[in-house]
Amino acid sequence: MTGFFALLKRELRSITREKTIMFAIIVQFFIASFSSIILVGIMAFYDPSSISDNTHVRIRVGVIASGENVEPLLNYMDNNNISISIFPDIAAAERVFKRGRIDAIMVVPESRGGVVDMQLIMPELDAKKTVVFMLLDEPLKRYENYLREANSVELKYGDTGGKPHTTYEFLYSLIVPILMLFPSLIAGSIVIDTVSEEFENKTFDTLVAAPVSLAQVVMSKMSAAVIAAAVQVVMWVGLLRLNGIVIQNAALVIMLAVIIASAVSVVTAIVALYFKDRERAQFFYSLVLVVLIGGSYFLNPSPFGLITRLAAGDPGLGMLQVGFYAIPLVVAGMLFLRVSRKLVLSKR
């Protein structure tokens, strides 16, 4: 056993010395930051008020109204901080628009048979039209509901006081699982690289003579990779907490992530021992990974979904579901013990 620990120490040292972990962390940090930028972008679409709240954008709309039913619309726009100028006709409004004094022109005719066919004239410039339309979105929707009510059509469940859920779902169903599972992918890559390096440098032959079993040699590599993964996962839980994102059931989430990292490491060790060169091993690993990730989608709960629900604090989940994922780990481990020696000694 001491031999195993000596080997493990060697592997861990090589991981820290070669700054691999640093790279790994930078990569994940980058992905997380980038995703949050995208999130802000998406939020701007879903929740237009965030544009005006953050940037104090004010727009001015010219309105040409021939009906009397336009009053509510003007009120809704006014409530959303949109300035309004009333024009007698389009030509006048267009002239003012061309001077850049108004940002959009709305032509609101009288309703015909309960229908209002409005015309909205906007700047052609992409960036501007998006902002204009996003700010007009809510007043227009409310106006549509008003017209609907005038036609005695009622929409139920109008206001339930819920919060915009997009960020929440995005965070727990994408960002958190990615951060928790990415270290497993890295663990797999580390195992392949360190194992195939031993073959390419022909150092396995020397190790065969050492007083440790071959399985132990490979296991020390796997353990080092799993430990590295565990450190990253724990770190992410802490960092997310600092950012105000609480991972519920943290112990279970970490446990699940480590179990998956271990299973991935064992499988990749078998792959690496079988192929003995990095080129093929990495390629197969990537393909197997794609198949497994795709396949896991059909599991319920999938690893991804399980992490999502655990982290979001679903009370109906626990040890049982996490324990389920130990099964593939045990199967792969047994397979590994059976075939490792044969694979190492087999010819290339």
Instruction: List binders of other proteins among 115-134 (CB under 8 A).
Output: 115-130, 133
Q: Name which of residues 5 to 44 contact other proteins (CB under 8 A).
A: 18, 20, 23-24, 26-27, 29-31, 33-34, 36-38, 40-42
Q: Name which of residues 245 to 264 contact other proteins (CB under 8 A).
A: none
How far is residue 318 from each of residues 42, 108, 178, 249, 313, measured CA to CA in Å? 33, 57, 20, 9, 10
- Min dist. Cβ of residue 11 to other proteins (A): 11
Check: CB of residue 243 under 8 Å from CB of residue 164.
Answer: no
Of 68, 113, 211, 347, the residue at the interface with other proteins (CB under 8 A) is 113
* Piece of the chain touching other proteins by CB under 8 A; list 1-9, 74-82, 152-160, 323-331: 152-160
- Min dist. Cβ of residue 26 to other proteins (A): 7
- Min dist. Cβ of residue 242 to other proteins (A): 10
- Is the preceding peptide bond at 301 cis, omega within 30 degrees of 0? yes
- Min dist. Cβ of residue 278 to other proteins (A): 5
**Strand order across the 83-86 sheet:** 83-86, 60-65, 104-108
What residues contact residue 19 under an 8 Å CB cut-off, 6+ apart? Answer: none
What residues contact residue 259 under an 8 Å CB cut-off, 6+ apart? Answer: 322, 325, 326, 329
73-80 contact pairs (CB < 8 A, 24+): 73/108, 73/139, 73/140, 73/143, 73/146, 76/138, 76/139, 76/142, 76/143, 77/136, 77/139, 79/139, 80/49, 80/52, 80/135, 80/138, 80/139
| Residue 143 makes contact with other proteins by CB under 8 A | yes
Of 81, 203, 286, 346, the residue at the interface with other proteins (CB under 8 A) is 286
CA nearest 187: which of 269, 293, 256? 269
Nearer to other proteins by Cβ, of 107 and 329: the residue is: 107
Q: How far is CA 181 from the centre of its chain?
A: 11
Nearer to other proteins by Cβ, of 96 and 326: the residue is: 96
Of 16, 81, 206, 243, the residue at the interface with other proteins (CB under 8 A) is 243
- By CB under 8 A, the count of residues binding other proteins is 130
H helix or E strand, kind and range, residue 109: none
* Piece of the chain touching other proteins by CB under 8 A; list 135-143, 229-237, 257-265, 331-339: 135-143
Q: Name which of residues 206 to 235 contact other proteins (CB under 8 A).
A: none
| Residue 2 makes contact with other proteins by CB under 8 A | no
- Min dist. Cβ of residue 234 to other proteins (A): 19
| Residue 238 makes contact with other proteins by CB under 8 A | no
Sign of the four-CA dihedral 323, 328, 329, 330: positive
Nearer to other proteins by Cβ, of 224 and 230: the residue is: 224
- Min dist. Cβ of residue 105 to other proteins (A): 8
| Residue 330 makes contact with other proteins by CB under 8 A | no
Of 57, 60, 80, 234, the residue at the interface with other proteins (CB under 8 A) is 60
What residues contact residue 313 under an 8 Å CB cut-off, 6+ apart? Answer: 248, 249
- Min dist. Cβ of residue 2 to other proteins (A): 26
Of 51, 57, 96, 231, the residue at the interface with other proteins (CB under 8 A) is 96
Residue 53 CB burial class (10 angstroms; 0-12, 13-18, ≥19): exposed
Q: Name which of residues 296 to 325 contact other proteins (CB under 8 A).
A: 297, 300-302, 304-305, 308-309, 312-316
Check: CB of residue 222 under 8 Å from CB of residue 14.
Answer: no
Q: Name which of residues 157 to 196 contact other proteins (CB under 8 A).
A: 157-165, 168-169, 172-174, 186, 189-190, 192-194, 196
| Residue 87 makes contact with other proteins by CB under 8 A | yes
